[in-house]
Structure 1
Amino acid sequence: MATSRWIVVGNVDLPGLAHLAERHEVGDLTVYRAGVSGSWPSHPPVACDVRTMSLVAAPPPAPAPAAGEPPRIRIDEDGVTVSASVLNEDPVHVAVNRARGGFAYFTDPLLAPLILPALGLPVEVRDDPPAVAGDETLLRHVHRVPFGAVQETRRHRDGWTTRTTMPDDPLRHLRRPTRADGQAAGRAQLEALRGEIRRIAAGRPAAGFATLLSGGIDSGSVTMLAAAEGLPVTPYSAGTPWGDEFDDAAELCDHLGLPLTRIDLSEERILAAIPQAVRGLCVTTPEVVEVALTATALYGGTEIAAGEVVLTGYGSDLINAGLYRPFRGPDELIDQTLDSVHQTRFTNELSSRLPLAYGREVHHPFWRWPVMRVALDTAPSAKVHGGREKHHLRLAMSEHVPHQIAWRRKTAVHHGGGLQAGVAKLLTADAPGVDREAVYRACFRELVAAAADGRPDGWDPLRLYERAVAAARR
């Protein structure tokens, strides 16, 4: 069962959280934490790494987070400072009642039904989607701290004041890529990827590793490099009732001398993953939810051994033009790529919240800044050549794996195994004439209702899905 890990910092008492969390007082602030690792210090400041949900040594205040730094919450006796990451994968949320002077920062937006009433604010789910590429959420009165921002709320003699510092966006400086040689660019990216896998492994000398392997080059390159580093790695491939990529995944495993673990996901397990994915993402965009379904089902299963560190290929499509649309010139593809990266700042699709709720340690090596920097510095002519996406990576991978593996046709993660089409059929059968987002939005409303009853976790996913379908059909 998933159990979310979170921290809340506010200047009002939040009795709705009392049965869920440890409570601490720091000056005029009240802190609630659940599942946050580390010992509470004897005196402030207190700092929480939001990505890992762990207490860490409080760093000195900085004007802006560097690219790649995790988001942090720093709590002092006279205030709280939130440093959002540059890409805001793990956002911190804030709710404020200016008339009353009350506020709360919190990492899990589905705690809002237990927080907003104490602030004198209503709990309202939006009927329409929030603004695209904005800091609004599905809940009115709940906003993300902007990407890359440092937001300080401090107590002064006349009350609480908030100051937000917005840094320069590093994506603005990546519109003139310099790596035009496809093979060299691909090699450089694989080397950066190898470096990230080494960094992850160095801090976990006794750990076993798992990869989520499809038939594609992204998870394939992560698996290949993990094996090349001598890590004890087990590749897992998931199939659905509508198809699988077992043969393609097995071809790479045979080449690497690794056994492949095949996992068959049932319709019931996939349907159960829908509310669980919506719970972890707190968005209802169909593409985003459906991309997360396979991983959600696997995180909640027993096939991947507890304690195995999971490595994925997620993020590669976004930085390597894996899902590009027709373009008329290099600048258009650059815009597409940077926009796809920018959009993730508002979708939570690379957040650690969902895997942490299942006790999983998951890393997306492609989504680390050293790898991203190489990818975003690669010219469009190297990324797309002869109608093939990720041409540069395929050239580089051809030096390590057979040609047919490196140049296999691209299949999106939610298309592999026929998952998206299969889910669409299931939803059509359960809720005829209702679009998918309406079902996902109904799931979110049911989750809000469960949280308002004091159960942000611990509900039955299939029953919640059934209630959501019934509501969506009305």
Structure 2
Amino acid sequence: MAPLSKWCVVSNTPLPDLAALSVHTGTGVLHVYHRGPEGADLPADPPFTLDVGTLLAEPAGAGDDLTASTVRVEPDAVVVRVSGLNENPVHYAVNRMRGLFAYFTDLFLAPLVLPALGLPVELTGTAVGHACGTLLRGVNRLPHSSVHRTRYDDGHWRTETGDLHDPLRDFREPHRTDPHAAGEAQLDALTAEIERIDRSTPAGTGYATLLSGGIDSGTVTYLAATSGLSVTPYSVGTPWGDELADAAELCAELGIGLEAVHLTEDDIIASIPEAVRWLGMTEPEVVEVALTATSVQRLGAVPAGRPLLTGYGSDLINAGLYRPFAHHHELVDQVLSAVDRTRRTNELSGRMPLAYGTGVHHPFWSWPVMRVALETAPECKVREGREKYHLRTAMGRRVSEPVAWRKKIAVHHGGGLQDGVTRRLEKETGSTDREPVYRACFAELLGRSARGELEPADPQDLFERALGRLRFR
């Protein structure tokens, strides 16, 4: 199935290039352009609130959830509330001289939005930073834990901003100090989250999990299966390594089959432009972390209509490299810094699943599970030379010792896949620096967006043209 990007734009000026691509609603002083999931129409008249993650209109009184970013449209104002996790970004551009602005949820709409504001479409000369949060001049990603209100008052537009409480500030002194108890508490929270997901899904739905040989996806698969969900695990093999045998070991214990997904080198390389498209980022590690999931989605490895549960996010909240001489507070800072960085990278956003119309859930990245993990002292997480010690201890009472305690060599992050991609791109460009390749993909995608081509078509051609930009610059 070909992807179709979903998004919303709110501006105080008409955006003619978006009219044919979306449903347009006007309030008199505001223009709303919306392309959401099929059948998800906005109310005819404001006020209404849109959930940024789902692009669905929220019922009255919704939107106070810590993890939900929202856009509220009123007759003479737009209010954007950015969540504490901020995995689904909202971007803002303004021409103060002309009094024109736009809020938009997809960075690659910029070539269709900025000209209407009287602004140029220009790439920055450096990698994305925390100041504006995007690779485009004049386009800012709104920061986490904030509220932005732009209101029409007496013939002028006025913007007020405010800060919300940053939830990460509450976890400088984690109080869970017993590894087994902390692990059990996290399993309880994960089970509750998986059951919540199942309650929101039509009865009889079959699920998929993305299963490696590690404890994270293994835990999600185990809890889903033992909670009564119909689960089919999928495990990915690449030319640079796989964990199929390790994944099959857990499946044998659970009495369920394993589906192997074999990705070729060309499959993975051809997924680079699409990973850049949905991330809106070109940071090499971020792009490469996304390549496995992007390939699985792009190639339709998991049947449509089967929601996917992943173990993504656990590395951030539960782990940390084993550092025998590290100070307690240094390890706490390491976890909080990892979470903070991830809420700026879009690697757990819902943009790609929305475009494909598929359900993807990251149970570890739900706030109840994160809270338990962040309340857990690092000495529980890293002990006796092993990371995720608390989670392994709890799972060790449910699965065999090899499944709970094996060391994981991930194919989706670092290790084999990252090295393999680096070697392939070195052959193509003569350099081990991948960032220019990913930036060239970004520029090629941006040029196509200006022509109204918002979804990556013919990824191999797109990749070759991106390489051409590097060769002839």
Q: Judge conservation of contact 1:125–1:139 (CA < 8 Å) in 2.
A: yes
SS at match of 1:24: strand
* Deviation (angstroms), 1:200: 0.4
Corresponding residue for 1:33? Answer: 34
Give the aligned residue type for 1:364. H
Corresponding residue for 2:148? Answer: 151
> Aligned in 2, Cα 1:58/1:94: closer, same or farther, shift over 3 Å?
farther
Query: 1:18-52, CA deviations, whole angstroms, 9 ceiling, x for partnerless residues?
Result: 22111111231111112345233232112211111
Query: 1:312-345, CA deviations, whole angstroms, 9 ceiling, x for partnerless residues?
Result: 0000000012446675211100000000000112
SS at match of 1:346: coil
Give ranges in structure 2 of 5+ residues lacking alignment.
Answer: none
Give the aligned residue type for 2:302. I
SS at match of 2:228: coil
> Paired residue for 2:100, among 85, 99, 102?
102
Whole-angstrom CA distance in 1 between matches of 2:282 and 2:268: 16
Deviates more, 1:440-449 or 1:10-19: 10-19
> Paired residue for 2:175, among 174, 178, 181?
178
Q: Judge conservation of contact 1:273–1:296 (CA < 8 Å) in 2.
A: yes
Runs (4+) of structure 1 moved beyond 6 Å? none
**Mapping of residues 315-334 of structure 1, within 5 Å:** 315-323=313-321, 328-334=326-332
SS at match of 2:343: helix
SS at match of 1:230: coil
**Mapping of residues 316-465 of structure 1, within 5 Å:** 316-323=314-321, 328-415=326-413, 418-433=416-431, 435-465=433-463
Q: Judge conservation of contact 1:10–1:103 (CA < 8 Å) in 2.
A: yes
Deviates more, 1:180-189 or 1:464-473: 464-473
Give ranges in structure 1 of 5+ residues lacking alignment.
Answer: none
Deviates more, 1:200-209 or 1:400-409: 200-209
Task: Give the CA RMSD over aligned residues.
Answer: 1.6
Give the aligned residue type for 1:38. A
Give the aligned residue type for 2:10. V
Q: Judge conservation of contact 1:239–1:417 (CA < 8 Å) in 2.
A: no
> Aligned in 2, Cα 1:405/1:458: closer, same or farther, shift over 3 Å?
closer
Give the aligned residue type for 1:39. D
Whole-angstrom CA distance in 2 between matches of 1:99 and 1:327: 55
SS at match of 1:52: coil
Query: 1:226-268, CA deviations, whole angstroms, 9 ceiling, x for partnerless residues?
Result: 0010101110011112221100000010011110000101222
Query: 1:119-156, CA deviations, whole angstroms, 9 ceiling, x for partnerless residues?
Result: 0001001121132x344311111111110111111100
Whole-angstrom CA distance in 2 between matches of 1:121 and 1:409: 51
* Deviation (angstroms), 1:427: 0.6
Provide the aligned length of Structure 1 versus Structure 2: 469
Query: 1:388-442, CA deviations, whole angstroms, 9 ceiling, x for partnerless residues?
Result: 0000000001011100110011334524782111111111111112610110011
Q: Judge conservation of contact 1:134–1:346 (CA < 8 Å) in 2.
A: no
> Paired residue for 1:56, among 55, 58, 69?
58
Corresponding residue for 2:226? Answer: 228
Whole-angstrom CA distance in 2 between matches of 1:270 and 1:225: 30
Corresponding residue for 1:305? Answer: 303
Give the aligned residue type for 1:346. R
Corresponding residue for 2:266? Answer: 268
Q: Judge conservation of contact 2:320–2:331 (CA < 8 Å) in 1.
A: no
Deviates more, 1:24-33 or 1:367-376: 24-33
Q: Judge conservation of contact 2:42–2:56 (CA < 8 Å) in 1.
A: no
* Deviation (angstroms), 1:353: 0.4
Query: 1:364-388, CA deviations, whole angstroms, 9 ceiling, x for partnerless residues?
Result: 0000111011101111111110110
> Aligned in 2, Cα 1:444/1:194: closer, same or farther, shift over 3 Å?
same
TM-score, structure 2 length as denominator? Answer: 0.96
Q: Judge conservation of contact 1:279–1:444 (CA < 8 Å) in 2.
A: yes
Whole-angstrom CA distance in 2 between matches of 1:323 and 1:397: 20
Whole-angstrom CA distance in 2 between matches of 1:125 and 1:413: 32
Q: Judge conservation of contact 1:324–1:336 (CA < 8 Å) in 2.
A: no
* Deviation (angstroms), 1:445: 0.5
Whole-angstrom CA distance in 2 between matches of 1:416 and 1:99: 46
* Deviation (angstroms), 1:206: 3.0
SS at match of 2:271: helix
Corresponding residue for 1:193? Answer: 190
TM-score, structure 1 length as denominator? Answer: 0.96
> Aligned in 2, Cα 1:417/1:303: closer, same or farther, shift over 3 Å?
farther
Matched, 1:42 2:44: yes
Whole-angstrom CA distance in 2 between matches of 1:380 and 1:229: 29
Percent identity, aligned pairs only, is 55
Give the aligned residue type for 2:160. R
Give the aligned residue type for 2:217. S
Give the aligned residue type for 2:260. R
Corresponding residue for 2:165? Answer: 168
Whole-angstrom CA distance in 2 between matches of 1:273 and 1:127: 25
Q: Judge conservation of contact 2:24–2:31 (CA < 8 Å) in 1.
A: yes
